[in-house]
Amino acid sequence: MTDRREAILAAARATAQARGYAGLNFRDLGAEVGVKSASIHYHFPSKAALGAAVARRYWEDSRARLDGLWAQNGDPRACLAQYPGLFRRALENDNRMCLCGIMAAEHDDLPEAVRAEIRTFAEVQVAWLAKVLRAADPAAEAAAVEQRARAIFAAIGGAQAVARAQADLTVYDDIIAGYRAAGLLPA
């Protein structure tokens, strides 16, 4: 049963990264996973429950990747330099988006449980960026660090959206290079 639940979550994640929350459909997911939609309802009684579970798993996986990046590196500048690559990978995977970024665009149509998980994703990203920025410049003012962390997170998400619209990874790379040239990210 756990394997089936994991397969459903994986299929739902891929679907949501391509089509957002609105694209989650139990019948289509069932066909993709090879189960009846009733089997999906067994694990996730509603679309809202599925959407919240997918978004929760996404931010948990993202936090683990960020923590791993920090543990592997320990060098704040290197971590900041590698951060855009985490978002680039979604584009490399059939021009998909950050799951929470694409769902955030649907904010008004999301159930509150899904909204809460999307907010948590953003909080995790900004907190990690702020931690890394503080390590890079311990004398920096806390409010300025927080503001820069939000700016980096928003800028990376925006670069991803623009590149996806163009279906062109070089657009993403060019935008990131511009952020580096402007000093938002380390060169």
Per-residue pLDDT for 181 more than 70? yes
pLDDT value, residue 125: 98
pLDDT value, residue 1: 56
Q: What is the pLDDT of residues 94-126, one digit of tens each?
A: 999 999 899 999 999 999 999 999 999 999 999
Question: Which domains are seen in the chain, by residue range?
Answer: 48-182 (1.10.357.10)
Per-residue pLDDT for 2 more than 80? no
Q: What is the pLDDT of residues 52-108, one digit of tens each?
A: 999 999 999 999 999 999 999 889 999 999 999 999 999 999 999 999 899 999 999
H/E run at residue 167 = none
Is the Cβ–Cβ distance between 16 and 99 less than 8 Å? yes
C-beta pairs of 62-69 under 8 Å, 24+ apart in sequence: 62/86, 62/121, 62/124, 62/125, 63/124, 63/128, 66/124, 66/125, 66/128, 67/128
Q: What is the pLDDT of residues 132-171, one digit of tens each?
A: 999 999 999 999 999 999 999 999 999 999 999 999 999 9
pLDDT value, residue 187: 76
pTM for the whole structure: 0.93
Half-sphere exposure of 13 (CA within 13 A, CB side): 19
